Structure formats: C-alpha cells, structure tokens
Amino acid sequence: MKHFWIINSYSSVALFYRNYSNFTLDQDLISGFLMALNSFSEVELKSHGISSIIMGGLSWVYYDPRDSGLMFVAADDVKSNTEVMRSRLEVIFKMFVQQYDITSKKMQSLVDQSKYVEFQETLDMLEKQWKQAETILEGGAALIFDLLGIFQQLFNQFNHIIQTTFFKEENEKVMDQIGEMLENLNTMPEFTDNPELSNISFDEHGWDIITLNPLKIELDVLKRTLTLITIHLNNVLKENLTDYGRMNAYINHLFPYIMAQYELLENLGVLHDLLRIFLQ
C-alpha cells in the first residue's frame, strides 16, 4: 500500500491515515473526496458503492464493512492485485475493531482521532510482513497471494449470506457449527503437518486467511485446505437452508463474484471444483 485511510462513514472524517510513499496528501481533504465519490456512486448511479477505481495513476480499493460506521480505503500501484488489497483491508478492519472495540453507535458521536494513532504499529507490522513475503517469494508467489485473496473473498461471501439470511438464534447456531468445523479440521493430519494452517481463524467478524505466511506453506497444500473448508461451508448451509434458499443466496452473492473472477479462478485451477461444490 502507498496510502491507507480509516474513515468515519457518518462524518467522512479520517480517523486514521498512513502514508507509505514519498507523495504527501491532505488526509482530511482526500477522505472527504473519497466518501463523496462513494456516495455519488450509491445515490446518483444507483450502485452499491465503489469497490475499486483507477485514479491519479493509482488503484484505489474500498472496503465498506456492513453496519460498522467505517470505510477503509487503500491506494497502491495500478498493477497491484485489487482482490488481495481488499482482503487485506478486511484483515485490518478486524484488527482495528478488536483493538478499539468499535461499534456503529460509537461512530455516530464525536470521535477523538488521536486515540487511534497507536494503530500505526499494528498496520506497520502487517505491511512489513506482506512486503517481505512479496519480495522473497518468486514464481509461485503471485499464485499464492491470488489464492489467498480469492478464498478470503469467497469465505466473506459465505459470512455475508449467514448474516443476512438467518435470524439471531439461527445465526448463532450456524456460526457455532462453522467454529466447530474449523476446530475439527485443526486436528486433521493436513493441519498438524502444516502448522501455518492453524493461523486460519473464524469469529463473529468473519474469516481471516490473508495473514497466512506464504513462505511457510506450499501452494498445493493451501489449495486443498481452502477447497476442503469450502466443502464444509457449503454443507453447513445445506443443513440449515432449503435447496432453493441456498441456491438463491448463491445466485445473489457467490455466483456474481465467481463470474467476475472467472479467468483468475480458472488459472488457479479451482474454478471447476468450486462450481461442482456449489451446484451439487
């Protein structure tokens, strides 16, 4: 990342800004502009807001966590992988919310920006880890990062389906089933033989796989593991939804994403496996 913002979506005020480039920006002016662009997309263009845009020679990626009162935006080189960038924003969101106990209600009142300055240490740690992996790895590096980014997004789509489909008690039941599923997977030989896989986590905020260290895991092992988790997630939804309800949720959430990433999924060798899982 060259630039990164955490913005209060109610006031458009930048709660946190980090610059990793030699180019200086007015963090408050830009945050207001970024929110205005997103609002224009939602209201005037009747869309769901901006996911990513190319502007000023940079790729700008948005992440709008549902009902959080926050907007996360990162800017990087045009050649950067926007799916990986968005997945990293989701990881940063989870850490930020957990570190400061963020709620939508808190964001609706006057917020002291200075209290978030220490988040720089967390962000710098993540950025350093990601940069080291990108620098050291060759050949399979791009494939590993693409795989992590794609499945982070797919798992988040599953989580979105759960949050928008089930009422409170059913929601908690399904979330518990997924948590138990991941615990059981952690005892399997694939996980015990590859300790890095134990860093895959799931909680009320969703999945976190993008922080896996690519230096400590093989591409084939990662592909098998993520496919296996996908099978289990599909089975959980099959158990708790009618076939019609499940397919309707996939049509509205999963399939549009798969179609948008069709070529990348095919290049990664997971497209047909995913379609077979979801259509069974």
- Compute the distance between CA of residue 61 and CA of residue 178 in angstroms, rounded to an integer: 29
What was the pLDDT predicted at 55? Answer: 82
Q: How confident is the model at residue 250 (pLDDT cuts 50, 70, 90)?
A: very high
% of the chain residues with pLDDT over 90: 28
Domain ranges of the chain: 3-136, 141-279
Task: Tell me if 5 sits within 8 A of 31, measured CB to CB.
Answer: yes
Q: Which two tokens stand for residue 229?
A: 């988790």
Q: How confident is the model at residue 136 (pLDDT cuts 50, 70, 90)?
A: low
What was the pLDDT predicted at 232? Answer: 94
3-136 has which CATH code? 3.30.450.70
Q: How confident is the model at residue 142 (pLDDT cuts 50, 70, 90)?
A: low
Q: How confident is the model at residue 81 (pLDDT cuts 50, 70, 90)?
A: confident
26-76: pLDDT as tens digits: 788 888 888 888 787 765 555 566 777 888 888 889 888 877 889 999 999
Q: Which two tokens stand for residue 68?
A: 């959080």
What was the pLDDT predicted at 4? Answer: 93
Task: Tell me if 17 sits within 8 A of 32, measured CB to CB.
Answer: no
Q: Has residue 132 got a pLDDT over 80?
A: no
Q: How confident is the model at residue 266 (pLDDT cuts 50, 70, 90)?
A: confident
Q: Evaluate if pTM is beyond 0.95.
A: no
Q: Provide the sign of the torsion angle of the four alpha carbons 105, 93, 34, 253, taken in this order.
A: negative
- Compute the distance between CA of residue 5 and CA of residue 72 in angstroms, rounded to an integer: 6
166-182: pLDDT as tens digits: 998 899 999 999 999 99
184-208: pLDDT as tens digits: 988 888 888 898 998 898 887 788 8
- Compute the distance between CA of residue 225 and CA of residue 77 in angstroms, rounded to an integer: 31
Q: How confident is the model at residue 134 (pLDDT cuts 50, 70, 90)?
A: low
Mean pLDDT (whole number) for 98-120: 85
